[in-house]
Amino acid sequence: MKLEYRTLRVEDRGEGLLLATLNRAEVANAMNTQMGRDLLAFFDEINAASLAPRCVVLTGAGDRAFCAGGDLKERNGMTDKAWQDQHLLFERMIRAFIGCPIPVIGAVNGAAYAGGCELALCCDFIYAAETARFALTEVTLGIMPGAGGTQNLPRALGERRAKEIILTGRPFTAAEAYDWGMVNRLCAPGHVVEEALETGRRIADNAPISVRQAKHAIHFGMQMDIASAMMFEIEAYNRMVPTEDRREGVLAFNEKRKPRFKGR
């Protein structure tokens, strides 16, 4: 798959593990139109790929910011139509991101504000540096979260807490995000990518069809009543029964060795 983009650095860490870095450190990795295009192309390619990619770690360049949100210098003076055209691109990118069939781990190394916070919330789970900060500041600029923030944040930490965060625009710390359940792990500064990659490697070593189906069942099952979700889970489960990987997993267990999963 393509690994070269203008605002996104993608590194193949081997065996299906990718490290994707938002690469505009000089402007706190603010998201401009080109970054929207690059992220859309990246996730579109993963979504259309075979089972080769198994896990993605998403982070920001430098140690100051994960992503400061939309590039307001680029947006300054935009016509209404230009603004809406750009946002349509961002909407397409977010849909491709949320639709990614493989796990995406957010490694939040610094500030994740506005659209940057929304990008983090699109990840399956988040590791954050202890010094990271989060905010959804859109209402202080005359707009509102429009990249999934009003939907993903309340699902992560509850409606009442989400309303307070979104309606005030007030920043919060990584420790608060951890206490509220938005962040899975706090990491020492400089170690968040390393720890996320370690977890990503563990995921990538597991049976890829199993990982995809489990993510699929969790994501869509959470949107159903429990009886429908249980039926949906069984449909996802039955996809694994006739696979080589299922037979290899059981055989490896009985032979007391590490399984060699092939994604088929």
- Domains of the chain in start order, with CATH, are 8-205 (3.90.226.10), 208-254 (1.10.12.10)
- Cβ pair 33, 74 in contact under 8 A: yes
Active-site option among 138, 194, 244, 248 = 138
Calculate what percentage of the chain has a pLDDT beyond 70: 99
Is there a catalytic annotation at residue 15?
no
Instruction: Say what the pTM is.
Output: 0.94
Is there a catalytic annotation at residue 138?
yes
Active-site option among 15, 118, 164, 233 = 118
The mean pLDDT value of the chain amounts to 95
**138 has a pLDDT exceeding 90:** yes
**2 has a pLDDT exceeding 80:** no
Q: Please provide residue 17's backbone torsions phi and psi, each rounded to the nearest 5 degrees.
A: -100, 125
Tell which residue, 64, 156, 58, 67, has the closest CA to residue 116.
Answer: 67
